[in-house]
Amino acid sequence: MRPGPPFGEEAHVVAPCCCCGKVAQLQTLWTKSNPMTRFHACPKSGGRNNGCRFFCWVDDEMPPHEKGVMAWLLRRMRQLEQDIERMRAREKKLWVALFILWVVVVFV
């Protein structure tokens, strides 16, 4: 779960006040069962004191097909992010190997 809506949609959502009197925070779920589903929650929730436990859905439930597509896209995005990290690590090793080879060629 990450705070805030995707793509700057917060302008279209009116934030209610929770039972504590604070403005509820807009958050987005990124789970398989509720991908990109937004909700309002007490800003104090999630810490040691769970606030007033205010909770309110913003979006309607997605149809099953859309949930499946979103879950696949999220899985694919995570796979690509892992691929990028592996490629960066490989690139770093190649730069080190290139530097060592350069030192050997120049100084030997």
Give the pLDDT confidence of 47-80 residue by residue, as tens digits. 566 678 888 888 777 788 888 888 888 889 999 9
Tokens for 95?
């730069």
pTM above threshold 0.75: no
Pairing, β 35-41 against β 2-3: unpaired
Task: Count other Cβ atoms within 10 Å, centred on residue 103.
Answer: 10
Spell 50-83 as b/e; 16+ CB within 10 A means b. ebbebeeebeeebeeeebeebbeeeeeeeeeeee
Q: Which residue has the tokens 């309002």?
A: 40
Domain residue ranges of the chain, discontinuous segments joined by +: 2-107
- Read off the pLDDT of residues 10-35 as tens digits, 9 standing for 90 and up: 556 677 888 888 888 888 887 777 77
